[in-house]
Amino acid sequence: MGKQAKKIMFQGTGSSVGKSLICAAMCRILSDMGMTVRPFKAQNMALNSFITKDGKEMGRAQVTQAECARVEPDVRMNPVLLKPNSDVGSQVILNGVAEFNMDAAEYHRYKSQLTDVVMDAYNTLAAEADVVVIEGAGSPAEINLRDNDIVNMGLAEMIDAPVVLIGDIDRGGVFASIYGTIKLLPPDEQARFAGYLINKFRGDVELLKPGIEMMDPMLHVPCLGVVPYTRVVIDDEDSVTDRWYGKHEGQIKIGIVRLRHVSNFTDATVFDMYPEVSVEYYKNEREIERSEPDLLVIPGSKNTIDDVKHLKMSKMADAIIKKHEEGVPVVGICGGYQIIGKTISDPHHVESQADIIEGLGLLDIDTELEETKTTTQETGTMLNGFLDIDPDDKKVRGYEIHMGQSRPRTAETKPFAKLADGRYDGAVSPDKTVVGTYLHGIFDNDELRESLLNQIKAKKHIAAGAVHDYQAFKESQYDLLAKTVKEAVDMDQIMAILDGSQQH
């Protein structure tokens, strides 16, 4: 039998308590210590996904964790991905491939059949690593979902993992949520907790210590640290995010239309590294009308047809078109690219019972939804500029996740880029004020992004700034996150948990 990787699992008192970032930090900390680290999350529900080099789809949180561990993202790190495509149902992606759609009740019954999928992925990853850092989902205290659990205590039992519980003090009631989460579980599961962390703390930690001391005799589970609230520019996992509401005033404003089924809004994360750029998210007609964006972005969508219907019904479509008529350039990415075209047809009823629907009409293209999903990483070269950007052999890199193909109606609508595999991507309007592309991560391309921002700056009589290296910036943010967590957490206890030598 081969070596057995050490393991540590982080679960939370609820969603968005910071599990993903704590796991990412731990991946970087342990990697810095010279260990071979692999992240793992058995089941992830998220609208932000990524395509690996071999064309498989996985959640972005595990991509971030892999980057923190300095390893290539691998779909085994997230073998089950659920992508909500309605209020009650999700697309089920197994080992990176979209298999079927299920509603919540169907999936809960089906989960018991996924044990082998999860364990095969975990065991092969563990065979390659010194340590596996495991992330739970939601809360283990969702006791109504304990049967057939494959991501929280069910997984911890299957792989015999020690568990650290994370509580979010920023929400209030952190001691109650930590105590209640643990005490709702049966004694054998309570015994798995090796400690807890208090996350997102603001203020004087001395004021918190009496509460921690009072918890000791009640829980018999040690506090492993109090992690301060830290602002880092790292991709969010899904729509449970503070990003919708956090704003700062910048000289340049990027407006993002917040679709009902928005996906991969991480395409705009890169702009957070610019202090002079503010990113705003618009959820209704009034917010678009009152805004003064320098660029309007229609992001990806998990249900393009439903989002078009909602944009029209809510009058957001009219507000978008009006902003463009007033001179605001528009970028549509993936589903957003489809939305800003003339028509979207769905002959196989992939997304709806509608055969065809009119889009916003900003690009002279037609889209036909297909049963087969395109999932691939791509490189290419810009063919036609956007605004006054000279394509000048600018290279582009990104990844595609879509269920359809879009084609220009006339020769006046030029392709945006030529891809390395010979295909053409996207479209640019004749006046170059609208561009659509299937490439997620398009703004991550340093040269293209800087050219775009400099065009906006020139229009506003703002001096061009220094070129930003996004990859280097991401690494600096990962290091900042790791430093913050390492200084706040009792790493001796963490190592003892990993070694199995922890003393309660």
Q: Catalytic residues, which ones? A: 334, 440
In angstroms, rounded to a whole number, what is the distance separating the alpha carbons of residues 83 and 114?
17
Place of tokens 């929400």: 171
Beta strand residue intervals within 13-78, DSSP E:
37-40, 43-45, 49-51, 57-59
End-to-end CA distance of the chain: give it in Å, rounded.
Answer: 31
In angstroms, what CA-CA distances link 430 with 231, 416, 437? Answer: 41, 11, 15
**Region for residue 392 given its phi and psi (left: phi exceeds 0; alpha: psi -120 to 50; beta: otherwise):** left
Helix (H) or strand (E) holding 15: none
Question: Could you tell me if 157 and 128 are in contact, meaning their C-beta atoms sit under 8 angstroms apart?
Answer: no
Cα–Cα dist 72/66, whole Å: 6
Choose among 41, 21, 22: nearest CA to 135. 41
Residue 468 burial (C-beta neighbours within 10 Å; 0-12, 13-18, 19+):
middle
Token couple for 370? 């297909």
CA 308 to CA 360: how far, in whole Å? 8
The 8-class DSSP code of residue 468 comes to P
> Torsions phi, psi of 387, nearest 5?
55, -130
How many whole angstroms from its chain centre is CA 181? 26
- Phi/psi for 97 (5° steps) reads -120, 130
70 vs 27: CA distance, rounded Å: 9
DSSP string, 207-234: GTHHHHHHHHHHH---EEEEEEP-----
What distance in Å separates the CA atoms of residue 301 and residue 306, rounded to the nearest whole number? Answer: 9
Tokens 């009740």 correspond to what residue? 105
Contact 61, 135 (CB under 8 A): yes
Residue 487: what residue type? E
Closest CA to 178 of 143, 145, 215, 207: 215
What SS3 class is residue 315? Answer: coil
Amino acid at 85: N
In 3D space, the residue among 501, 504, 499, 497 whose CA is nearest the CA of residue 9 turns out to be 497
Task: Report the relative pairing of strands 343-345 and 365-382 from DSSP bridges.
Answer: parallel
